[in-house]
Amino acid sequence: MYRFSRSIYRELAPDILEDRPCHSGPGNHERVLRACEAAVYRLATDRHYFARPTRTLFNDIRIYFPMSAQERVYHVVDRYLGFAREYFASIPPSGFDIDGRRIECRATTRRGTPCQRTPLPENGYCPSHQHLTEPDEIRFAA
């Protein structure tokens, strides 16, 4: 998982603006790395509710780059998050997420509690809640 965030950081590191000398706390390089790791982690664990990961990460880190590098930053982020999306989609479902927690259905029961059943890998809903799938999430078998 970290190979994607570290790859983004390594490619963008030369363009990161220098810190102000009187500034305390984490530096710009550390902030960019943390933002990259957080975006890739969320993409791995919350794929269905992370609609625009490229835009989110770019908006988080763009203030640490000069205006002349903004387009390059966006393309680098988009390319590596695309690789990460493909990788996470190719992992066979095991019933557990990256942290080892059991994956549960995205739906809630009539009582308002989360559904405890194991979801199908294509959309995150169990067989009982397939009717909640959005039309653009439905995959047709060829």
Report how far apart, in Å, the C-alpha atoms of 39 and of each of 24, 71, 84, 101, 120 are: 24, 19, 10, 19, 24
Question: How far is Cα 67 from Cα 49, in angstroms, rounded to an integer?
Answer: 30
pLDDT 10s per residue in the chain (142 long)? 789 999 999 999 999 998 776 667 788 999 999 999 999 999 988 777 788 999 999 999 999 999 999 999 999 999 999 999 998 888 766 666 666 677 778 888 888 888 888 887 677 788 888 888 876 655 544 4
Tell me the whole-structure pTM to 2 decimals: 0.69
Those residues with Cβ within 8 angstroms of residue 83's Cβ, 6 or more apart along the chain or in another chain = 4
Question: How far is Cα 77 from Cα 8, in angstroms, rounded to an integer?
Answer: 6
Report if residue 41 sits inside a domain: yes
Report if residue 19 sits inside a domain: yes
How many domains would you assign to the chain? 1
Domain that holds residue 57: 2-90
